Structure 1
Amino acid sequence: SSTHKIISVVFVIFCSLSTTLTAVMQIDDLAEVDYSLSSLPAVFRPFIDLDLKGVVFPAGNYTDSPYVAASFTIPDQSDSMLYLAFSEYFFQTSSFAYYTAGAFNMTIAEETCSYFNINTEIFGSIIPEVAKYSVTPYPVMLKLMSTEIPIISLQQDSFTLEIQGSVEVLAVLPDSTTQSLFTLNIAANTSISLNIFDKKLMGSLCLNR
């Protein structure tokens, strides 16, 4: 109808102006997302297609992503009012942003380790060198660090997460200084499957290695 055509033209003009603007929303203290239109919308009688950038970057630091966005399509369905699809690029830039912001680095404090009775004596029973260094049991603290950007890959019904990092174990001495005991390099590959059960989105986790 003529009304439909007029609405479509006005909508396209509005969106064409919007493509020149940057739409940024802060996710949290560490990251922001650019959800600007990446192209003009495709207007059809039964539906409208909107392509958004979906680039996540460190808060206050809009840096170029090392990844390249690949085009994809949503299956042709019309049972619901709204369909949302997130590309692998969105998750890759999210991983890059949080890695750059240091979100994957953390310290497990002495108090937490002491609560679980983790001290140099426990590590000394496993690693003889630690036992030789620390005759008297000392409390410890752990420093966890991601050494590379976590890799997220999407599959048909699941996605995998590959993480490489290190764990440094430090003894907390009586004068409150710390002494590094050893560093353990770790690599993990995890698969996460998503299913809808009783109208709820459920996830199952499987550690591959």
Structure 2
Amino acid sequence: MEVEKILVLCGCFLLWNPLIQSTQVYPGIKLRITQKGLDYGMQAGMEAIEPIVKKNGIPDFKGSESLEFLKVDYVDYNFSKVFSAKTLKVDVCAFCLMSSRAEGRAALFLAEIFFSGLINLSRSDTGHPTMKLEDCYVRVGHAHISFSGEFSVLYNSFAEPMEKPILKNLNKKLCPIIMDRFEDINANISSLEVVTKFGEDILLDYSLLEPPEITQSSIDLNLKGTFYQVGNLTDPPFQPVPFTLPDRGDSMLYIGISEYFLRSASFTYFLTGAFNITLTTKELSKHLIQNPQGIGSLFSQIAELYIMSQPLMMRVLTTEPPVVSLEPNNFTLNIPGSVVMLTKPKNATEEAIVSMDFVASTSVGLAILGQKLICSLSLNRFRLSGPESNRSSIEVLRFENILSSILHFGVFPLANARLQQGFPLPNPHQISLVKSDIEVHKGFLLVSTDLRYDPLWKKQHFGG
């Protein structure tokens, strides 16, 4: 009896386990920030902090210091002019010596600045990354004051004893300031758009699926990477599959673009009719009239009856979402479609003359331009659908040839022009992708890139 219970439990587990696995959500986009990228991020972070400190400053404070034979009241330490993240220069607006007041200026140099803290990276309910600083510790190890102005020679003689209380006050105040700045940064991160809109019809969801995965030498982020129609956030009728980024560290950032991401784009663009193109009489004429010897009797009659007397149009429609295939060094897109020849007599509705289904096999060229992935199509093969017995027909073969010519010279240039808008690649605000390269692997594309921090304050000051 006990054995039967165990077998029943095992059977239930085997049935239940696939259901658990089926709920696993895999990413459409993977990001990996390598050690090289993290090192650069520290450098860029110091650059980012500099203008923040310049703008907001370290809070001023007042106080006094009693020496063995001298009492100095520092009326106002003004920490508003910071020129370097490592060496800080500030102004002392006024100071008092014994009972007589003298005004002057001083430069305060800070060195041996040490900072440590635990940065907690997570994910908000809206799919935004979040960053929280915990266990902050800041220590400024050395301060040096140099006075100028009235009695500066005398004050410089007693500057060293004043440095200790300044360090004490600074070390007490810096962590709260830094914590506040991190709150500001987190607020900015939380306001970043994780959904990008393409034109009026399409949305791209880049939201974070789970908290970042942190290892000893990298940070991995899994993004949704799904396209939707505006007003319809229904997931496509297929699921992403897992893929693994290669173990590399030569670039700062690696972006894995899954086949699911591209299939999602293909499916959504199909639903919106973005692949459908209509060629006018003028666009058709150079392919039909200028090449009558390759048309065959059917198209010769069409050209004679319609092009010369009334407008003729060719409408290319996709009948199913184009099929994406990623193999090593090979990205292909097979497009099932239909070509319809139409005419529109004066004061009448359109009339279909000929309609035939086809499959176009294309190669996809890839390039990284700026912050976008750019695709371009080139025709490999065009084949009309229909019974195999009809394929030996000279007329059908000629029909294929002329339609292939129209697709190559008329339809694909229009499609490639639309594709030039590209797909925006995920990247932080004010960070540019440089030295980018792209490879085709089985099931995913791999973008390798370095990063460049382009803060707005640099562009404003240096015209970048």
Same fold (TM over 0.5): yes
Q: Distance in 1 between matches of 2:313 and 2:345?
A: 11
Among 114, 121, 133, the alignment partner of 1:11 is 121
Q: Larger strand proportion, structure 1 or 2? A: 2
Q: Distance in 1 between matches of 2:280 and 2:377?
A: 30
Among 336, 351, 360, the alignment partner of 1:188 is 360
- Offset at residue 144 of structure 1 (A): 1.0
Q: Distance in 1 between matches of 2:317 and 2:340?
A: 8
Q: Which amino acid aligns with 2:235?
A: D
Q: Distance in 2 between matches of 1:16 and 1:30?
A: 27
Q: Does residue 44 of the first structure (1) align with residue 215 of the second (2)? A: yes
2:253 is paired with a residue of what secondary structure?
coil
Deviations 1:34-63 (A, max 9, x none): 111112211123210000000011223212
Q: Which amino acid aligns with 1:160?
A: T
Unaligned 5+ segments in structure 1 are: none
Among 6, 9, 34, the alignment partner of 2:205 is 34
1:92 is paired with a residue of what secondary structure?
helix
TM-score, normalised to structure 1, is 0.77
- Offset at residue 18 of structure 1 (A): 5.1
2:262 is paired with a residue of what secondary structure?
helix
2:268 is paired with a residue of what secondary structure?
helix
Equivalent pair of 2:306/2:312 in contact (CA under 8 Å) = no
| Aligned residues: CA RMSD | 3.5
- Offset at residue 182 of structure 1 (A): 0.6
Q: Larger helix proportion, structure 1 or 2? A: 2
1:50 is paired with a residue of what secondary structure?
strand
Matches within 5 A, 1:102-181: 102-114=273-285, 116=286, 118=288, 125-127=296-298, 130=301, 134=305, 137-138=308-309, 139-175=311-347, 177-181=349-353
Deviations 1:110-147 (A, max 9, x none): 34334x2747xx6985318956x938933311111001
Q: Which amino acid aligns with 2:242?
A: S
Question: 1:158/1:194 Cα in 2 relative to 1: closer, same or farther (>3 Å)?
Answer: farther
Of structures 1 and 2, the one with the larger relative CO (CA 8 A, separation 6+) is 2
Among 260, 268, 279, the alignment partner of 1:89 is 260
Question: 1:179/1:48 Cα in 2 relative to 1: closer, same or farther (>3 Å)?
Answer: same
TM-score, normalised to structure 2, is 0.37
Question: 1:187/1:135 Cα in 2 relative to 1: closer, same or farther (>3 Å)?
Answer: closer
Deviations 1:146-186 (A, max 9, x none): 01111101111121111111111112334464332111211
2:241 is paired with a residue of what secondary structure?
coil
The residue that corresponds to 2:449 in the other structure is none
Percent identical pairs in the alignment equals: 32
2:222 is paired with a residue of what secondary structure?
coil
The residue that corresponds to 1:207 in the other structure is 380
Q: Distance in 1 between matches of 2:376 and 2:350?
A: 40
Q: Does residue 74 of the first structure (1) align with residue 262 of the second (2)? A: no
Larger C-alpha radius of gyration, 1 or 2?
A: 2
Q: Does residue 58 of the first structure (1) align with residue 58 of the second (2)? A: no
